[in-house]
Structure 1
Amino acid sequence: MSASCIGIVADDLTGGAAIAGEIARPGQPVPVIRLEKTCPLPAQTLVVETSSRYMPGAQAAARVEQAVSRLQQAGFTLLMKKIDSTLKGNVATELAAFARATAGRVVIVAACPTMQISVREGWQWKAAEKGVDVAGLVGDALGWRPDVLPLATVREGKTAVSAWFRQHASPVIVADAESQRDIQQLVDGARQAGIDGFAGVYGLGQALAGLSEPAMPPPPDGAHRLLVMSGSTSRANMAQIDWLVAQGAEAITIDVAALCGEQHRSEMARLSAAIAASRSPVVLLHTDAKNSAAVVREVCRARGWNDRDLAQALAAPFAEAVRQLPQAGLFLVGGETTGALFDLQGWQTLRVNGEFSATVSIARVPATQHPAIFTKPGAFGAETVLHDVARWLLPHL
């Protein structure tokens, strides 16, 4: 196996697909493979997805260690742990597990310039607002505080970064960064110092692959419809949905209280009939998070559900839509939403061919008729991104 092949561990599908999308090139797709898929891993850059973001900590750690072990047994030496850009889920626990499993030095890059997220003095900042003490968060899980690579050293270039790593023996390092150039410099310096373990968010994959910018494949032929499915409650996604509907998409709203209660069968029948009756080229199936947030919170509170539990409940109407529209392009929004649908469909691999825009991957699921499957984390993307994808996939729109 080439030493440049990257073995990536991701805690959800859309996050893993976002990293795959920034690395994939024409003729060089990057597969996102679910941990449960037991076939031998191919000798190419790939993502192993653990679905562990909302699992109990010990279970999440075990799945990360299992994923790293599979990658190492397959011959991967350059490893990356994908984490949530806002540090949601079992971030610290999974990073500690990743560090143990790799048994080498690990550099944590929690900056995401695309989202205006930077790291300074070991703290994550969103625009001008100070956020999480990344070094402290990870240190709590490790039992000791990792060293912090200063931004001033990063700005001196990869030679200075390499020298800094040689002078500081900490097995886990949190790196300051503000820009994509910063990330590239610190990655190059770390590699020069012999470091093969990295953890971070969107932007790190591109730097590890040594690429200047992501690639967009050409639109697939023969696409006539797009089915957008969203379980995300992020404000960004609400604005994207509003824009899509304003451009003429047909919106079908899931009544979450009915779906999760005694009216489950009648709600499924209503949704199935609405999907069957739809003739619009762009169909949106969603929870109308902007107007149903309080109801959804109460449903989850009453049942003790987290985001993953809710996504599994939503998977049934999403799967029904996929069944009725087997040749439509799919746009799946939200990591737990996407994972739950894959669980129900029995899909084990997402083959990512590139990206439409930052974090919006363009992919296929083998052995399905869907001409393209787009995924994105809920909080990412411009207000127009859902409609922009529809216009790209459906030129006649």
Structure 2
Amino acid sequence: MDKKYLIMADDFTGSTDTGVQLAKRGIPVQVRLHDEDGSHSSLVVDTESRNLSPKDARDKISRAVLQTDMKEFDYTIKKVDSTLRGNISDELNELNRLYDSDILVFAPSLPSIGRQVRNSILTINGINGLNTQFAKDPVKPLTEDNIFNILKKAFPGENVNSISLDEIRNGKVHITPQTKFYAADSMNDLDLQLLVQSVLKTNLKVLWVGSSGIMDAILSIENPIVPALAIVGSVSEVTAKQVEFAKENNVKIISIPIYDVYKDESYYDYVDEAVNAMRSGQDVIVTSSATVNRKELKYTQDKLKADGLSMDEIGLIVQSILGGLGRRIIKKIRPSGLFITGGDTAKGFFDVIKANGVDIITEIATGTPMMKIKGGEYNDLKVITKAGAFGNDDLISFSFKKLKESNK
């Protein structure tokens, strides 16, 4: 039976950006704006309490709980603002009083837009929260960027523990019977997923507290999606940053030494490496070693030139190797979609798979179309392409998410 999720959010946009994590995985979900009874598959309750007084916010939480059969749901998530604005301490205190959980885990990071927590301090694009514009909000400013302190304020006199990055990444998250309240670090999406995995192993009843990031992490475990694949032929610095950003968010990078593959006439070890990573649930980027190490570019060119090849021929070799790798990987495991950067690389791949053409679906970002392959070996496979030297650092990671959403 599918799991059912209850999300309690303090404003409408928070309700929808968390609820959409369910919808994009094909899980029916409704946002409730007013008091009502009734059964739901999964439900987001919008209390509209962020800008109220602490007392009124408590009353809103209390009424929402009384209107909801919380036993109906497998997961309960208290959605808070990723910049920690609102009546967080008061709402958590009231919800904890009414909800009979074993532990409360507070992990508000939303790494995909630069909201991270290290040593319990929220940073926004690398700046401590209290030093950002969110601390100057005229209605409900950020007043505390230390999530450990927020929990201490919410539950005075209670034991509160912090969960560090090292504990999360080394699989040593320690939940004790003496402590119910935990403030958790996380710097990337993988940290959140590892945190969720560790906590779920305890089989305790959890009140999860966080942004849409914690919802996505829970769903990544409960409702996994087939990974996506990227073929990256561009060697621009912009693309290198995009690849590095993806690597920091648990994407497997397979760096291909073009000259060695050309001389050995074999790339099957790299195919197996990619397939194994995808079968374990990781998105994969296949790229030339020159993308991740600029020194490799000159080395590869010099070696191939010494073999009597022109620059045009070298370009065709790179396209052929990356395109062939992509084709072999997809033959063994069909991804949720494919991202290709570099126009020549894209055309080379389409030629390798004998595609007749593509149908344009939409533009996911400026200059970044999503399309569907028509004909050839991989008919109807969704593909996102972009030219090399433009786009934000998160563009490949964002494209992977869009490819996976589009399958639902």
TM-score between the two structures when normalised by the length of structure 1: 0.49
TM-score between the two structures when normalised by the length of structure 2: 0.48
- Pick 1 or 2: higher relative contact order, CA cutoff 8 A, min separation 6: 1
For the pair shown, the structure with the greater C-alpha radius of gyration is 2
